[in-house]
Amino acid sequence: MSKALAQCAPADRHVSVLNKLAALAAPLAAASTVDEAKAVADTAKAIELWARRKKANRPIVVQAMEYQRRAQRTMGKMIQALYGSHGGDRRSSVTVTLETLGVDKNESRFCRAIAKSSDEQFEDWLEACRNGQDEPTQSAAVRLHLGAHLRNNSGNSEWYTPQVYVAAARDVMGGIDIDPCSCADANRVVKATTFFDEQQDGLAQEWHGRLYTNPPYGEGTIDKFSEKLLAEFYAQRVKQAIVLVNNCTETKWFQGLLRASSNVCFPMGRISFWSVRRPSKNPLQGQAFLHFCFRAQDGTKFRRVFGKFGVCIFKG
């Protein structure tokens, strides 16, 4: 990154970096050679590394990674067109080699792999990454063309709450009557008396009793679950609730939940979610537990139990 950028104030640097990322769209769209697409990928990688060192906001890191994946996918399509299915391994049959392009065999294989995913699949995945459901890493990109995208696995690739936090929620509320956004795998840990999976559509059901949920973080979906929770809580069908969400404090839905909650816990560190088919992972963004209750003693217990995870704030 430039010396002038390093001398800027932190907030100005972040704005400047976002502008630099936005400026990559035009050269990527105009790229007609592997070298031109690779230049975009290399620039985006440099921005990502800078953002991580400076602990920049998540959108900067994700957007930098997104431009890398887009540029690498473009490279993959170009390499495929140049070399066919062998991807440049048969050098004698072509004039231009991977070496002259500045691309090694491993990079060529990766770029061609992510180029195999459909445009719709690729864009859906990037949207999920922006919303915190996945990370636009190279390994995640490769899984796209293998059919392992989180939206194509009937819920088996969703990320679930670790047992230690669910046990704490059960301790606070004395049990969990309902999880409106779950599945059979997740409920083995949550142990809710009633749970609704994607097919049953928890948004279409009435919610009652003591509720725990870690709703999907996708844009639009999280808004609907937040509105539904508030409606059920204000109707007093939900007597007590603990909700785990990304701490998107700038969003309308988070502000609405925060305003209605009695307590909030900001865990120290990012939560390592688990999945049936994938290793546990830490998301790029931090989380928050929001607690909804009508009795003061329930709030006191929440702060005592969840205080071991991070800072708890009493809102009254």
142 and 221 in one domain?
Answer: no
289 and 184 in one domain?
Answer: yes
**Of 262, 170, 261, 266, which is closest to residue 212 (Cα–Cα)?**
170
Residues contacting residue 275 through CB under 8 Å, at least 6 positions apart = 156, 157, 158, 159, 160, 281
261 and 175 in one domain?
Answer: yes
Per-residue pLDDT tens, the chain, 316 aa: give them: 444 444 444 445 567 777 888 899 899 999 999 999 999 999 999 998 888 888 877 788 888 999 999 999 999 898 888 876 444 544 444 455 667 777 888 888 888 888 887 787 788 778 877 777 667 887 677 666 544 333 333 333 467 888 999 999 999 999 999 999 988 888 989 999 999 988 888 999 999 999 999 988 765 688 899 999 999 999 999 999 999 998 888 889 999 999 999 999 999 988 887 765 554 455 557 899 999 999 999 999 999 999 999 999 998 6
Structure tokens at 73: 């996918």
d(CA 104, CA 262): 56
200 and 124 in one domain?
Answer: no
Residue at a domain's end among 131, 152, 173: 152
Residue at a domain's end among 120, 152, 184: 152
104 and 131 in one domain?
Answer: yes
109 and 42 in one domain?
Answer: yes
Alpha-carbon torsion 251, 252, 253, 259, what sign?
Answer: positive
Task: Assess if residue 105 is contained within a domain.
Answer: yes
123 and 15 in one domain?
Answer: yes
Q: Quote the number of domains for the chain.
A: 2
CATH number for the domain harbouring residue 264:
3.40.50
Strand order in the sheet with 263-267: 194-195, 178-179, 209-213, 238-246, 287-292, 263-267, 310-314
131 and 77 in one domain?
Answer: yes
Alpha-carbon torsion 74, 77, 82, 88, what sign?
Answer: positive
Residue at a domain's end among 122, 152, 182: 152
Domain range holding 134?
A: 3-152
